[in-house]
Chains A and B, each alone.
Chain A
Amino acid sequence: MKKRIWKTVVLVTAIILTLGVLGGCGADQNAENGQVVISVANFVDEKTNPEVYKSQMEEVAGFEAAYPNVKVEDARWDFNVDTFLAKAEGGTLPTLYYVPMTEAENIMNLDLAADLTDEFEKREMTDKLSEFILQKISKNNRIYLMPTSCYDVGIAVNIDLYDQAGFIDENGNLYQPETWEDLAGVAKKIKDSTGVDGFIFPTTQNNGGWRFTPIAWSYGTVFETQLEDGGWQATFNSPECVKAMQFVSDLKWKYDVLPENALISGTNTKEQFSAGNVAMTFAEPNYIIELVQNYGMDKNKIGMLGIPAGDQRRVSLMGGGFYVINKDSTPEQVSAAMNFIEYRGYTCNLTEERKETLAKDYETRAASGELIGLESISPWKAESEYGVYIQELNRENLNVDINHIKNYNDKTGLEFQQEEPKDAQALYAVFDNVIQEVLTNPDANIEGLIENAANDFQQNNLDYAN
Chain B
Amino acid sequence: MLHTSEINLATKKKKKKLFTRADISGWLLIAPSFILMCVLILRPQIMGMVWSTFEMKGFQVVKFVGLDNFKRVLTNTDFLQTFINTWEYLGWSLVIGLLPPFIIAIVMNEMAVFRKTIRTLVYFPGIMPAVAVSVLWAFIYQPNVSGMLNAILAKFGVEPYGWLQDGRFTILYIIISMTWSGMAGTAIYYFAGLQGVNNELYEAAMIDGAGFFTRLRVVVIPYMLPMLLVFAARQCIGVFQVVDQPLQMTGGGPNNASMSMGLLSYNYAFVNYRPQLAMVVNVITFCVIMIFTLIYNHVDKRASENM
Residues of A at the B interface (CB closer than 8 Å) are 6-7, 10-11, 13-14, 17-18, 20-22, 81-82, 84-86, 88-89, 106, 109-112, 203-206, 259-263, 265, 423, 425-426, 429, 432-434, 436-437, 440, 455-456, 459-460, 464
Contacts and interface: CB of A to CB of B under 8 A. Distances in A.
B144 A261 contact: yes
Contact of B57 (A82, A86, A109): A109
A261 B273 contact: no
Interface stretch (B101-109, B205-213, B252-260, B287-295): B252-260
A14 B32 contact: yes
A18 B31 contact: yes
Contact of B162 (A13, A17, A260): A260
Given A260-B162, A436-B253, A456 B31 contact: no
Given A111-B57, A265-B251, A440-B254, 9 more contacts: A14-B31, A21-B39, A106-B273, A110-B58, A259-B144, A260-B162, A262-B254, A456-B78, A459-B75
B126 interface: no
Contacts of B270: 81-82, 84-85
Chain B: interface size category:
35 or more
B11 interface: no
Interface string B37-80: 00100000000000000000111100000000000100111100
B253 to A, nearest CB: 4
Contacts of A86: 59
B251 A263 contact: yes
Nearest to B170: A263
B7 interface: no
A204 B77 CA distance: 19
B77 A436 contact: no
Contacts of B275: 85
Contacts of B165: 261-263, 440
Given A111-B57, A433-B255, A21 B77 contact: no
Interface of B: 25, 28-29, 31-32, 35-36, 39, 57-60, 72, 75-78, 142-144, 160, 162, 164-167, 249-256, 267, 269-273, 275
B250 A10 contact: no
Contact of B28 (A11, A106, A263, A265): A11
Nearest to B253: A436
Contacts of B256: 433
Given A21-B35, A204-B250, A429 B273 contact: no
B269 A85 contact: yes
Contacts of B250: 204, 263
Contact of B77 (A88, A112, A460): A460
Contact of A17 (B31, B59, B60, B249): B31
Given A263-B250, A265-B251, A425 B29 contact: no
A205 B251 contact: yes
Contacts of A111: 57, 60
A17 B72 contact: no
Given A21-B36, A429-B271, A85 B58 contact: yes
Contacts of A10: 25, 28-29
A6 B270 CA distance: 49
Contact of B253 (A106, A204, A259, A460): A204
A437 B254 CA distance: 6
A31 B35 CA distance: 32
A14 B28 contact: yes
Nearest to B73: A460
5 nearest A-B pairs in the assembled complex, by CB-CB distance: A204-B251, A14-B28, A89-B59, A260-B144, A17-B32
